[in-house]
Structure 1
Amino acid sequence: MTAEAFDSSRAQILDRLDRAYARAAGASITEGNSVRMLLDSQGNFPAWLAAINGAQRYILFESYIFANDAIGRQFIEALAEKARSGVRVHVLYDWFGSHWSRSMWRGLVAAGANVRSFNPPSFDTPLSWLTRDHRKSIVVDGRIGFVSGLCVSSKWQGDSTKRLEAWRDTGIEILGPAVHDLEHAFGQVWTAAGGAQFEIVAKPHPRAGTVRLRVIAGVPNAAGTYRLDLLVASIAREHLWLTDAYFIATAAYTQALSAAARDGVDVRLLVPGASDVPAVSPLSRAGYRPLLEAGVRVFEWNGTMLHAKTAVADRLWARVGSTNLNLASWMANYELDVAVEDDQFAEVMADQYERDLANATEIILTPRNRVQRTDPKGIAAADEHPGNPRRAIAGSAGRAAAGAVSVGSALGAALTNRRKLGPAEAGLLTTMSAFTVVIALIAALWPRVLAWPIAALAIWFGVAWGIKAFSLWRARGARHRQRKAERARLGVGGPRV
């Protein structure tokens, strides 16, 4: 093969790979950017505030959680100050994630900011609360943008008086044309939250560097990030290093990681040692065994909370954002991630991953085929020491939904024998067995205890469906009348003369 033919063949392969990425993620490549990794609250919060304080025209701020605490109030005051100075401020928060913080918006609205809540409860859509706006992004003047896993809360800073360490999390700062993609992503959810079309107020910014990246704006039922994660697991050649806060993988993703490991890829998974959502930890651990048996290395973070959602493949590709490796993020929520195709940035991410492993405990299969936490230095697990950091407690509707799916998977496997259950699922099955027996006894002895709640739910769902049907019929009638009036205006369909 001649050099020209080789170059042509290589170009075709790269083009096909680029098309595969674009089709999987639903996001095209954007070139000419500059990207900087921001570590934890110490790296992210000051950078966010500096950008806000330097705003001249507009600020777009979207976060799942705006906590009514010192950090939340600091950001609210900074945004209010810019709004009072004439800067257009748009803030979008998730109703569920920030439902304890609604009182603090009055001052910001009074200052002139436009604030919207995503998906508050609605009587006519009883299960709509399962879809959340889990994105975390900031855009200032179309010039600079931020995407991260961090929310606006003091939890990310920790509390030394309560022995709570700062949470481990990762974000990025973006300069260049991709900032325009972040604006479009913000407008997508802004419109979903309020109905009015969001106006994109800036043209794409000039090139700021050489970094190629994709802004992956995940929406419910699209599964773009899920397809991308499966694709990356399939094409990684040397290593795939994952960090995730709420790992509850699907069978397909577990198989993809296992296949990569069996093929010689260095696959590693770093997850929290103890989650701020206690129900997640046993569900995550239930998925360790098939990964360990395939050769995937699993690590648990020793600090207070690991909240980052990142991936690094072959030191060439990296992903940072809000998407967790579970069905709630992949399928149910609005999420925002950035996939960076740049070897220098991927190298930075890989180096940080190795530093993170220094504060993690590896999970192994013992000679007796048991899943066990271990430490090569012989030190006991971090949560066994009374002086070690405590775990923060919080919750999430999306993670609850992902947990429910995992529970359903285990229960289904127990009934159908469609997959091998691991010892980590024994506790889950015991709990569900006891719960089911108790429900059966209540139904047999006191049937009204169950009948009344079921009747109430049936009435609620029936009325909700009726309201939805009425609105659809009314919309259909309005369209029919509009078409009829249009035909009459044009003289179509009238009597012949």
Structure 2
Amino acid sequence: MTVPQGSIRAGSNSSGVCNAECEDNTIRLFIEGDALFDAMLSDFSSARRRVWLESYIFADDAIGRDFMKTLSDCSQRGLDVRVRVDALGSHFGLPGGSSRRLKEAGVRFIWCHPWQWRKPWLFHRRNHRKLAIVDDNVAYLGGFNITELNSRQVFGDTRWRDTHFRIVGPVVDDARRAFESFGKGDLKWQCGGKHGGIELLTNHGHTCRYRLRCHLKDRFKAARNRLWLTTPYFLPDAGTQRDLCRAASDGVDVRVLVPGKNDVPFVQWASRETYSRLLASGIRIFEYQPRVLHAKTLIVDDDWSTVGSANLDYRSLFINYELTLAVDCQSLNTALATIFEIDLNESIEVQREPWSRRPLSARMAEFIGWSARHWL
């Protein structure tokens, strides 16, 4: 990784780790699953009071079993260990026997929104958050799930590309309260404010029904120089498309980085349905080629950026439960921008003229995907 300017200390390409000092908070940025998982397991093993983990996908595979062993060991040491996973996201990867073993070890294991005949609509609203709390000292948040798909050591060079934070500082208390409030049923909990330029955002709120969407709208409008977006599932609603196009029309450098290889083909079809309008407004679109891109980051101008679980799609903005960390910090913004540019070097830019000549079969696939966008 190229060493960014400012207070970033970058690791090697193999580790994919760099650090940023953002006022009273220290953020470690991970783009490689092996480095992230090693750090998480090390922190879990050193915990003295609590280990709380929330993940959309928690798989019983080579990586998941390491986590289950460490979590069980922590519980048997007398720690408060809680694990909350999504019933749909982990349905096929985490068999009932695995969850029972965690419970037998004393782990407070919870399936989030399992199927209920009396409330079938709840199954549609997924807990897509990825969050870990260690004591009152450390929080992890971002896009990585607990699965070997993210491990180069296990999955090889085709492991998924993602982004995650390790946070130390005052914002950890907000992350702890976010975990605790969700468990108590306060699904619209909001952080009280910023800590050292950092704000934890949920996508639902009491004052603004779709809080993350409102926040992004304000930031898109305020952008002056650049707006660089990375998302694996790019299905922006009409209002978000207008905001992006307006920013580009005002001279903002708007770039969208999406996967060239998507794990959900219907999503890619739907995503490509938006290309023509965005390209016409001056937005540059890039498709990442080497492997599945799963990172969710946003870089606005030179100081504001986000990393979290939320995609720029209908489900993340209006349906699912998400967590995103918004940071006013130039050094972190610089680090994320450097990573973004590295990813662009491994991407193909979609050109407006060739795109307009794509075959009818591609246009039909885009129409089918876009028609199903609310369910993807």
Please give the TM-score of this superposition, normalised by the length of structure 1.
Answer: 0.64
CA distance in 2, matches of 1:62, 1:160: 22
Aligned: 1:173 with 2:203:
no
Letter of the 1:216 partner, please give it: L
SS at match of 1:279: helix
Q: 1:68: Cα distance to partner?
A: 1.2
- The 4+ residue runs of structure 1 with deviation greater than 2 A are 158-161, 217-222, 367-372, 422-433
Aligned: 1:337 with 2:324:
yes
Q: 1:304: Cα distance to partner?
A: 2.0
Q: 1:325: Cα distance to partner?
A: 0.4
Match of 2:204 among 194, 202, 219: 219
Match of 1:155 among 149, 155, 165: 149
Aligned: 1:326 with 2:313:
yes
Relative to structure 1, the CA distance from residue 348 to residue 251 in structure 2 (aligned partners, 3 Å threshold; closer, same or farther) is: same
SS at match of 2:294: coil
Q: 1:401-434 deviations in whole A, cap 9, x for unaligned?
A: xxxxxxxxxxxxxxxxxxxxx995433557999x
Aligned to 2:38: 46
Q: 1:252: Cα distance to partner?
A: 0.8
SS at match of 2:128: coil
SS at match of 2:342: helix
CA distance in 1, matches of 2:226, 2:277: 18
CA distance in 1, matches of 2:100, 2:61: 15
CA distance in 1, matches of 2:160, 2:271: 19
Are the counterparts in 2 of residues 225 and 330 from structure 1 also a CA contact under 8 Å?
yes
Letter of the 1:427 partner, please give it: A
Are the counterparts in 2 of residues 146 and 173 from structure 1 also a CA contact under 8 Å?
yes
Are the counterparts in 2 of residues 249 and 326 from structure 1 also a CA contact under 8 Å?
yes
Aligned to 2:11: none
Q: 1:132-180 deviations in whole A, cap 9, x for unaligned?
A: 110001110010101010000011125888x761111000111111001
Aligned: 1:427 with 2:360:
no
SS at match of 1:112: coil
Q: 1:218: Cα distance to partner?
A: 2.5
Q: Which has the larger radius of gyration?
A: 1
Q: 1:227-268 deviations in whole A, cap 9, x for unaligned?
A: 111111111100010000111111111111111111110000
Aligned to 1:251: 238
Q: 1:106: Cα distance to partner?
A: 1.8
Q: 1:437-477 deviations in whole A, cap 9, x for unaligned?
A: xxxxxxxxxxxxxxxxxxxxxxxxxxxxxxxxxxxxxxxxx
Matches within 5 A, 1:112-151: 112-151=106-145
SS at match of 1:254: helix
Aligned: 1:108 with 2:102:
yes
Instruction: Name whichever structure is richer in strand by fraction.
Output: 2
Letter of the 2:257 partner, please give it: L
Unaligned runs of 5+ in 1: 1-29, 196-209, 373-421, 434-497
Aligned: 1:37 with 2:22:
no
Aligned to 2:183: 190
Instruction: Name whichever structure is richer in helix by fraction.
Output: 1
Greater RCO, 1 or 2 (C-alpha within 8 Å, sep 6+): 2
Relative to structure 1, the CA distance from residue 283 to residue 86 in structure 2 (aligned partners, 3 Å threshold; closer, same or farther) is: same
Letter of the 2:78 partner, please give it: G
CA distance in 2, matches of 1:55, 1:159: 26
CA distance in 1, matches of 2:198, 2:103: 35
CA distance in 2, matches of 1:369, 1:94: 40
Q: 1:176-206 deviations in whole A, cap 9, x for unaligned?
A: 110010011111222239x9xxxxxxxxxxx
| Root mean square deviation, CA, Å | 2.5
CA distance in 2, matches of 1:432, 1:189: 31
Are the counterparts in 2 of residues 137 and 147 from structure 1 also a CA contact under 8 Å?
yes
CA distance in 1, matches of 2:123, 2:38: 32
Deviates more, 1:114-123 or 1:149-158: 149-158
Aligned: 1:314 with 2:301:
yes
SS at match of 1:325: coil
Relative to structure 1, the CA distance from residue 344 to residue 265 in structure 2 (aligned partners, 3 Å threshold; closer, same or farther) is: same
Aligned to 1:276: 263
Relative to structure 1, the CA distance from residue 32 to residue 371 in structure 2 (aligned partners, 3 Å threshold; closer, same or farther) is: farther
Are the counterparts in 1 of residues 270 and 369 from structure 2 also a CA contact under 8 Å?
no
SS at match of 2:24: strand
CA distance in 2, matches of 1:212, 1:32: 9
CA distance in 1, matches of 2:115, 2:247: 42
CA distance in 2, matches of 1:321, 1:229: 13
Aligned to 1:265: 252
SS at match of 1:281: helix
Relative to structure 1, the CA distance from residue 337 to residue 371 in structure 2 (aligned partners, 3 Å threshold; closer, same or farther) is: farther
Letter of the 2:130 partner, please give it: K
* Residues matched between the structures, number: 339
Unaligned runs of 5+ in 2: 1-21, 188-194, 372-376
Q: 1:322-358 deviations in whole A, cap 9, x for unaligned?
A: 0000110011111001001011111111111101111
Q: 1:281-338 deviations in whole A, cap 9, x for unaligned?
A: 1100001111111111000010220000000011210100000001100111110010
CA distance in 2, matches of 1:151, 1:250: 26
Calculate percent identity across the aligned residue pairs: 34
Aligned to 1:58: 50
Relative to structure 1, the CA distance from residue 272 to residue 159 in structure 2 (aligned partners, 3 Å threshold; closer, same or farther) is: farther
Relative to structure 1, the CA distance from residue 60 to residue 279 in structure 2 (aligned partners, 3 Å threshold; closer, same or farther) is: same
Match of 1:302 among 289, 296, 303: 289
